[in-house]
Amino acid sequence: CEEDGLRHSNTADKVKRVSQAKLDIIAECQLNAPKPYEHKVREPLETHTEPLAPFFVEIPENTSAKEGQSTFVDIAVDGQIFPIITEYKGKVEIAKDV
C-alpha cells in the first residue's frame, strides 16, 4: 500500500500475465471446521412395475455437528412402492420424507 493510498503508474511498469486457479482458502480459525458439502451425482433409479422391497442404494454415514453448525447426510433408497424415510436423533424425529 502506498502512504497516500494511491498508486501512480510508472513507465517502467510492465504488463503482467497471470494464470488463475481455484483454491480453497481456509482461515486458521476454520481448520477444524467441516469441509464444504459436495453433492454427489447419481444415476437415475430404474422404474419398477412389480412390487420391490425397499432397500438402501447408499447407506447414510454417521455424522455429527455442534450446536449451531450444519451437517449433511447422503442417503439413497429404492423400492416399489417408493419407501418413506424418517430420520431420528435418538427418539426425536428430525426429518421425514426428504
The one-digit pLDDT tens for each residue of the chain (98 residues) are 444 444 444 444 444 343 333 434 344 444 455 555 555 666 666 776 788 888 888 887 777 777 777 777 777 788 887 778 888 878 888 777 65
Report pTM: 0.43
Domain map of the chain by residue range? Answer: 39-98
Phi-psi region of 70 (alpha: psi -120 to 50; beta: other; left: phi over 0): beta
Collect all residues with Cβ–Cβ distance below 8 Å to 79 and sequence separation of at least 6.
Answer: 48, 52, 53, 54, 55
Collect all residues with Cβ–Cβ distance below 8 Å to 61 and sequence separation of at least 6.
Answer: 73, 74
